[in-house]
Amino acid sequence: MNIKSIKSEFPIFNKKINNKPLIYLDSANSSQKPKAVIDRMTHFYENEFSNVGRSVHTLAVTATNRFEESRDIIKNFINAKHREEIVFTKGATEGINLVANCYGDKFVNEGDEIILTELEHHSNYVPWHYLRSKKKAIIKFAKLNENLEIKVDEIKKLITSKTKMIAITHISNVTGGISPLKEIIELANSKKIPVLIDGTQGAPHLKLDMQQIGCDFYVISCHKMYGPNGLGILYGKKKWLDLLPPYQGGGGMIDEVKKETISFAETPTKFEAGTMQTAEVVAMSEAIKFVETIGLDKISDHENKVLNYAIEKLKKNNSIKLIGNPENKASVISFTIKGIHPHDIATILDGDGVAIRAGHHCCQILHEKLGIPATARASLGIYNTKEDIDVLDSAIKKCRKVFNI
């Protein structure tokens, strides 16, 4: 696999940052876009643009066909059983909100329980908090072990006859830990409890097969897997999506509207109210083709080699504390440097062209558990190399000199 050739497909890497080559280590925040994705959006707007599902003229039919072709490509990419199990949203956040609202309205009552973990991104906590407030439900948090890992026994302890949903991350956006989905979902299935997986960090790095994973809902953030911004994918088993009421009302999602009654379209259209982000949906098919051409197995293998190199490199720096030590890990390294605020670390690194994230990464519950306000985070994509890690390591050493540490 020629990483140099792959990297050349991303126009952003022609840019210099502070007169230095761009070392982009912030893909957990948002990945960069290959030219094929950018060009597909441009081509659509220049040659095929129209609203979908509204008209019978040539452009409208073409746009609708391209939109639905992308649904089929995504269905095959994640091995969903039915194309109707793919719902387009404006992001993974909206996908989780959709499930929390629609499932919660129909199936959650006062005193019912939702199980989360201490690793969750705010997007997989705040929607359930709203449900808790609205329905007087209860949220339980599965505790992490000393390595900041989720263990199935901790979830098992929390399950009662009142448990109505288990919602967990696939890969932590702070520790990079991979959740033991197989064991958790098998446990949930034995208790007839539905499971939602926040796949925001999972989808760009791991091969997805909904038949093997077996979850009831899985959300994907397209801009983190080389696709456009403003687009998410919600996978839901058809049996659930057919049962759930619509999330929003408006054009496109109805069957018939009268003064006294309204009937709704079938799944998935009933969840896609209003004007859809057609260009983004069409371009997402190119992002998937990009990933499939390389192969997710090869992507994972490459990223793991760079990740392991980075961990060993940073461990040699006594001033660095790595956050978490999960046995199964992917794509993310969070760390602190004693005596230097993470925002200062990120600022100094940016001077050397190294882009990382600093903050609580929308995981304040985890950071509160650790007793720290923020961490610095380096995260990987297919375009990163061991040489990038060498530059990161050198820039970190520069931080220490600046602060005389």
Catalytically annotated residues: 362
Tracing tokens 């190294």 back to the chain, one arrives at 354
Closest CA to 119 of 324, 330, 386: 324
Torsion of the alpha carbons at 25, 31, 37 and 39, rounded to the nearest 10 = -60
> Is residue 254 classed as helix, strand or coil in its secondary structure?
strand
Distance CA 212, CA 192 (A): 17
The residues, ordered by sequence, that sit 6+ positions from 314 with a Cβ below 8 Å of its Cβ are: 320, 322, 333, 335, 393, 396
Contact call for residues 34 and 7 (beta carbons, < 8 A): no
C-alpha 316: how far from its chain's center? 31
Question: In the chain, what are the helix, strand and coil shares in percent, each to the nearest 5?
Answer: 45, 20, 40
**Residue 265 and residue 245 in contact, taking contact as beta carbons nearer than 8 Å:** no
Phi and psi (nearest 5°) for 35? -60, -30
Helix (H, G, I), strand (E, B) or coil at 166: strand
357 - beta bridge partners? 377
